[in-house]
Each structure stands twice: as structure tokens, then as C-alpha cells.
Structure 1
Amino acid sequence: MNIRDLGAEAMAGMLARPLRSALTTLGTVLGITTLVVTLGVAATAGNQIVGRFDELVATAITVEVPESEAAPLVTWDALDRVTRLRGVVSAAAVAESKDGANLSVRANAIVDPTRVTQQTLTVMSATLGLPEAARGRMVQGRFFDLGHVRRGDKVAVIGDQAARMLGITRLDQAPAIFIGEHAYTVIGILGDLRRERSLSTAVLVPPTIGRRFGLRNVTRVLINTSLGAAGLIARQAPTALSPGNADMLQVVAPPSPTKARDKAQDDANALFLILGLVSLVVGAVGIANVTLVTVMERVPEIGLRRALGAARRHIAAQFLLESTLIGLTGGVIGAGLGVVAIVAISAAKQWTPLLDVRLAVAAPVAGAVVGLLAGLYPALRAARMEPVEALR
């Protein structure tokens, strides 16, 4: 039996019962579709995750400045050297101290027993670029500028939650807050913070005013970089801030976004790949079962072929090729449905679909292999039949 005749016989055997062959192929279709969708959606979702990671985390660097009994490790004007580094989008320096924590802040000079006008808040000093560095915005008013700093104006900016706690909702009447016995004009409310959310409950004053609360030295520097520059800036920032004591500064830099994407994709693959394999196993069992039933139904045909001179290998090859064709057909249909499902899911989620050509090519091959393995036992059983017993 040549290859052409073998293929014709296998095709005829598969098409002899089209409904049964279609239902048998359905198991492989479901398994291959699940695998293609799983791997494709995992890659697409991993790319989306790393995009969000880039946006929120991968460009944020924090430099922690420890306390020093001698000269300060980082001065307020050192921030200018950081902003000149290529790749730095925004930066701000912040000062916190134990003296500035848990201070009594009230929004009215009059003590009213019927209202809670006094709160315990943290007072912090910050440089001018803090709203941008903290990835927030001025909900009302404005942040203090260089003129306020140079003149030593008694102004303050409060976080949005601190404003609600103090009952300050409008700034058109230039409301004042009292820290201790001193009044400070509130010129702005800072909110929508995506970094340093603790600032929402803080009172921010210029560095010249912060000295009254022990806020003399920089304790933290917030840096935002362009995408891909975080690693370089993390190495250069300590030297720019404190050339002689760079090793004493602690830099908190984001991990590589590529590693985050790969990890997210691997986790998704490990979770959903099992579902695809289970579906594929179910399809393989269906092919094996139907092929075995087909062998039992075609016992007289097998006996007649053997009596006419067909060898065992011819019978085995015919049934193996039939099951392989069923698996290959399921693989082709499953790959097509999987690609369509990936595009549909990506369109619904407004993602950019990632389609691997190798996956679309490998899916039909995987279906053929599943069909080949599933038909192995029925084919061997058909090949072992003796002509006399089969024709009896």
C-alpha cells in the first residue's frame, strides 16, 4: 500500500461517519482553542500589566537620607544637581522629623466645644516641585513658590484629607491654620496623590518656615524618571545629591519591568495552561474511544483486508492516520478559533493583542500528535486481529 492509497483509505474511513468524526474532533478543537487562548491572552495581559507597571512604578525612585549629627548629608540646593541629570522628569526634597510629627493643628483661633477644630497632623517641609514629584495635583489654590521661600512667608499647603479633617473647603477667603500659637495662611490643597499618599494628611510648609519645627535637613528625595532611565538615575542620584557620602544614602529603585512582565506572564501561563491540558486530554480520550469503537465496528473489513494480503503494519497505519487526521483537523480549527478569541478579548479590553506565529503553527501539529497518540492503542489492537477470527 503506497502513501497515496493509505491517505485515501484513511480519509474515506474518517468521512464515512461525518457526524461522529465531527463530534470526535470537537474535543481536540476545545483543547487546542483553550491552549491558544491561554497562551495568547497571558502574553497580551502580561504586556498590559507591564504597561501599567511602567506607568505607576517603573519610573519612581526614592532616596532615603539618614540623619547625621555633623553636616547634613543632602542640602536643599542639591536637588538642582539631580534635576540636571538626563532622564529625570521631576524631583522634590522632603524633610520630616520627630519634632514635626503629631503637632496640634487647628483651623480656628477660637475654641468651640461643639466642633472638632483641632487635629493632630504631621508638618513637613518640601521643595517647589513636590506636586509633580508626588504625582498629584493642586485640587485648590497653588503650591508655594520661590518668592514665598525667599521672603519666609507664613504660608502652608495641606493635603486633601487634612483639609476635610480641619473643615477647610474653600480658599477664596484665605483661611488660616494654627500650628501651636502661630497662624499660617493656607494657599493650596494637594490631592490625587499617586505617590507618597501620606502627604494627604500632612501640612506642607516652605523650608525656611520648617526650621521652626526642626525640619532643617532633607530626609527623603522623590524622583520621577523617563521610561527606561530608572536604573541609571538610581546609580547617579546618590552621587549628585551627596558627592562625598553617596554610599550612605539608601536608594529605593523599581525592579526591571521586563522581569515583572515575564513573571506575570509565567504566572498566568501556569494557572491557565492546566485548563488547556485538561481539555486536550479529554479530547485525546474521545479520539481514542471513538477510534476503538470504529475498530470494533469494522472487524469484518479488517479481516477481509488481511485475507486479501494486507499486513499488520498496513492496518495499523490506516487507523493511526485516521486518528491523526482527526487530531490535525481539530488543531487547525482550534488554532483559528483561538486567534479570533484573542483578538476579540483584546478588543473588548482595549488591549493590544500579541499573537505568536509559532503558536498558530504549533497548534495543528499538537492536535495531530494528540490524535496519533490517542489512536495508537486502537490501531495496534486492529493490527493484532487474525483474518480467520475477524471473518468468523
Structure 2
Amino acid sequence: MTTPATPPSAPDPQPDVEPLPRASLRPARLAFPDVLALGLIGVRTRKARTALSALGISLGVATMIVVTAIPASSQQALLAQLSAMGTDTLKVQPPPDQKPPVLLPADADAMAARIGPVTGVSAVANTHAEVHRSDRSDPADYAGLSVLASRDNLLPLLDAHVASGRFLDRSTDRFPTAVLGSVAATRLGFTRLAPGGPAPQIYVGHRWFSVIGVLAPTPLSPDIDRSVLVGWEPARTELGFDGRPTVLYVKAEEDQIEAVADVLPATVYPELPGVVTVSRPSDALTAKRKTKNTFSALFLGLAAVALLVGGVGIANTMVISVLERRREIGLRRALGASRGQVRLQFLTESVVLSALGGLAGTATGLLATLAYTAAHGWPVALPLGVLAGGLLSTLAIGALAGLYPAVRASRLSPTEALATG
């Protein structure tokens, strides 16, 4: 008995498949850590190329720092030498041979200090007293030495220094004490004072004065070298000094030195300003200003050339990187990477290379500058604005230089990139 064949069962109906929304087909947006990791792929996998690429960039940055910082340090040393020549100091005095003599007011230094750009004023006055080694020495032996009453703040105004002992101050104003200029000390026989020993005595205006200090040579004021300086008050009480200054030393802001010189005569001697002479600013001030302007222009030119060299090196490195990595680009595009992600990858790599080269170049330039300035004894002048601006400019140039290679890489189709890789 035959069993009737069972008719085949009908296939199950297929469920309806809804198409995916168009928005879900868009590639995922990469977070910053992911972007950075992609940019570091080429840096990590091609260490030799990365080192050589960063070396080229670092040499450009180091060159920029060296050609900026070393001339700036040299300029700083030169400007310090020019400043020591009194570029910001004026000398005010009446004509020395005027008959009858012109006497400045007793408060002339205080009047000059009221001028706005003035930063310091000091004064000396000729007491017309004689100085001798002792009360038994021949007066002719010490002819040509002057006895000057001095304010306590004279040394900073003349950029002078004490070679031995100390200078006049408030503690010595009540006692007959003296400080010798370098030439006066040699002629009087006291070139150096013994520390802790008794102070030598000199005979000034028939009074005994104790020598408490010896000055180093003062190039700004040779008259001080040939003088014996005594305190303002002891000069009044011991030598009959009338308290009127003979010479004022005025220190002012350099950019206002001419304006200060114009108003000083009327300020210190308003009755007859025409008879007061003010020394013109030192010729070194003009040289200092020209030197500053010349070096500034040189810095800008050299820094621009160094940055240009660094930018060309970055562009060349990134173009070669795209040519070398076409197969990688094609594989990433075939796996779904968008053109924007490829562009971002190469831009990130360019910026990372710039940062590595910039940091290495900055460190190298700083070390070279420190070594060179230390060898020459110059002050270290590191233009922080140039350092920061150079590093930021290098990053910006790196991004611009990597823009074209990044766009070129993103335009490669997967098949073209895999075929030519």
C-alpha cells in the first residue's frame, strides 16, 4: 500500500527588512584621543623618518632662537657698556670762571628732583679747603686736590664703586670723615685701607678727618678722582661750608633726557637760567639708540628666514609621507574611513611633527645660547615673546604645510590607492 506523497510545505514568508536610515551610514566622529592616536601612527611606526623630519624642523627653530637670543645677549652687554658711559646722566653747574661767581640755591638738588622724568639727583660742592697728609707736610705737595662736600647718594648717580672701605652715609654725617678719590688716595698714600684697622687721618682745612673709604676710578667724572669727599654736614660745621651745591648730577629716563636738559636751568636757577650750563647727553646715547634699532631689524629678518626654512621642511616631509603610505590610505578608505578622517589624520601628524621638532629645537637653541653667552661673559637675554611666537608660528606653518598633502591623501580612491601603493 503506497502512502501518498506529502506535498512540500510552503516556504515561510520573509520578514520585511527596513532599510537603515541614511544618517546611520555616516562614519562615526572621532574623539580627540582617537585623532591623536591616528596622527601618531606614522610617528610610531616610522621612527627613523620621524627623527629625521623632526631634526630638520628643530634645526630651523634652533637657528631662529640662536640668531635671536645670542645677538640680543650681545646687544644687552653692549647697551650695559654704553649705559655705564652716562647716557642717562646730566651734569648741571654754573660757569666756573664767572665773575662774580654764580651760586646755586641750597635746595637746587631738591628742586631738580621734582622734574617728572628725573630718577635721581645728587650734588657736590667745592669747600675751597686745603688737604694735607699731616699738619707738618708741605702744602705744595698736594696742590690740585679738591675738597668736596658730597651728598650720601653720589655713587649710584656716577656709577662709581668703593675699592676699599665704605662710602659716606647717615652714620658718618655727624663725624669728620672723608672718602678719597683714586688719584687723591695715591697722592696721599692711602691706596687701600686695612679691614678692622684704625682709620688713617688727613689734615683738611686745619681739621683732622678720618679716612673711611677709597673709591675706584670714576670714568664719568674725573674730577671726583682728584677729590677728597667729606659729608655735607661735617663740611658745614668743620669747614665753614655755606651749603650751596657747585655741581648737580641728574639721572633721568633716557627717552626724556633732552626734555629734562631743556628745563633744568630754569628749575635750579629761575632768576637767571641762562648762566647755568647743562651737559648735553653723551654721544653714547645716540650710538645706543642706533645699535638697538639695527639689532631689532636684524632679528626680524633672521627669524623670518629660519621660519621659512622650517615650513619648507615640513611640507616636503608630509608630501613624501603621503606618497609612501598610499596603500595604508587605500586600506583605511576601503574599511570605511571618510575623506575628512584621512585629512585629519595627516594634519594631526604634521602638527605632531612640528611640535616635536619645535620643542627639540627650542631646547637645543636655549642650551646653545646659554653656553655661548657664558663663554663670553654676556648677560643672558632670552626674548620670551620670540620663543613663544616662534613655537606657535612653527605649529601654524606645520599645519599649513600639511594641508595640501592631507587633501591630496583624502582624494585618493581606495582602488587607486591600493593599486599604486
Under a length normalisation based on structure 1, what TM-score does the superposition of the two structures give?
A: 0.57
> What is the DSSP-based 3-state SS (H/G/I as helix, E as strand, rest coil) of the residue aligned with 2:380?
coil
Distance 1:17 1:195, change over 3 A: same
> What is the DSSP-based 3-state SS (H/G/I as helix, E as strand, rest coil) of the residue aligned with 1:75?
coil
- For residues 92-136 of structure 1, give each alpha carbon's deviation from its aligned partner in whole angstroms, at most 9, with x where no partner exists: 89xxxxxxxxxxxxxxxxxxxxxxxxxxxxxxx99866xx98x99
- For residues 242-263 of structure 1, give each alpha carbon's deviation from its aligned partner in whole angstroms, at most 9, with x where no partner exists: 43221565634539x9999787
Q: What's the counterpart of residue 2 of structure 1?
A: 30
Among candidates 57, 78, 82, match of residue 86 of structure 2 = 57
Q: Report 1:64-213 matches (<5 A).
A: 75-78=101-104, 82=108, 87-90=120-123, 138=183, 141=187, 194=219
Letter in 2 for 1:29: S
Q: What's the counterpart of residue 312 of structure 1?
A: 339
Contact 1:60 1:224 in 2 (8 A): yes
Q: How big is the shift at 1:318? A: 1.2
Distance 1:272 1:363, change over 3 A: closer
Q: How big is the shift at 1:313? A: 1.4
Q: What's the counterpart of residue 96 of structure 1?
A: none
Q: What's the counterpart of residue 213 of structure 1?
A: none
Q: How big is the shift at 1:325? A: 0.6
Which structure has the bigger radius of gyration?
A: 2
Among candidates 249, 253, 256, match of residue 224 of structure 1 = 249
Distance 1:311 1:225, change over 3 A: same
Aligned length: 293
Alpha-carbon distance in structure 2 between the residues aligned to 1:329 and 1:263: 38
Distance 1:89 1:48, change over 3 A: farther
Q: How big is the shift at 1:366? A: 2.8
Range 298-307 or range 341-350, more displaced? 341-350
Identity %: 30
Q: Do residues 11 (structure 1) and 40 (structure 2) align?
A: yes
Q: What's the counterpart of residue 375 of structure 1?
A: 402
Range 53-62 or range 355-364, more displaced? 355-364
Contact 1:50 1:258 in 2 (8 A): no
- For residues 233-279 of structure 1, give each alpha carbon's deviation from its aligned partner in whole angstroms, at most 9, with x where no partner exists: 74674246643221565634539x99997875553232133223322
Q: Do residues 297 (structure 1) and 318 (structure 2) align?
A: no
Contact 1:46 1:262 in 2 (8 A): no
Alpha-carbon distance in structure 2 between the residues aligned to 1:324 and 1:313: 16
Root-mean-square deviation (Å): 4.8
- For residues 282-318 of structure 1, give each alpha carbon's deviation from its aligned partner in whole angstroms, at most 9, with x where no partner exists: 2221221121112112222222222222222122111
Q: What's the counterpart of residue 271 of structure 1?
A: 298
Contact 2:59 2:361 in 1 (8 A): yes
Q: Do residues 27 (structure 1) and 56 (structure 2) align?
A: yes
Q: How big is the shift at 1:361? A: 4.6
> What is the DSSP-based 3-state SS (H/G/I as helix, E as strand, rest coil) of the residue aligned with 1:58?
coil
Letter in 1 for 2:249: N
> What is the DSSP-based 3-state SS (H/G/I as helix, E as strand, rest coil) of the residue aligned with 1:353?
coil
Contact 1:61 1:222 in 2 (8 A): no
Q: Do residues 344 (structure 1) and 389 (structure 2) align?
A: no
> What is the DSSP-based 3-state SS (H/G/I as helix, E as strand, rest coil) of the residue aligned with 2:249?
strand
Alpha-carbon distance in structure 2 between the residues aligned to 1:41 and 1:141: 45
Alpha-carbon distance in structure 1 between the residues aligned to 2:305 and 2:347: 22
Alpha-carbon distance in structure 1 between the residues aligned to 2:77 and 2:401: 38
Distance 1:263 1:330, change over 3 A: farther
> What is the DSSP-based 3-state SS (H/G/I as helix, E as strand, rest coil) of the residue aligned with 2:415?
helix
Q: What's the counterpart of residue 352 of structure 2?
A: 325
Contact 1:38 1:269 in 2 (8 A): no
Distance 1:391 1:271, change over 3 A: same
Alpha-carbon distance in structure 2 between the residues aligned to 1:331 and 1:55: 38
Letter in 2 for 1:328: A
Distance 1:272 1:74, change over 3 A: farther
Under a length normalisation based on structure 2, what TM-score does the superposition of the two structures give?
A: 0.54
Alpha-carbon distance in structure 2 between the residues aligned to 1:64 and 1:325: 65
Letter in 1 for 2:60: G
Contact 2:105 2:269 in 1 (8 A): no
Q: How big is the shift at 1:330? A: 0.9
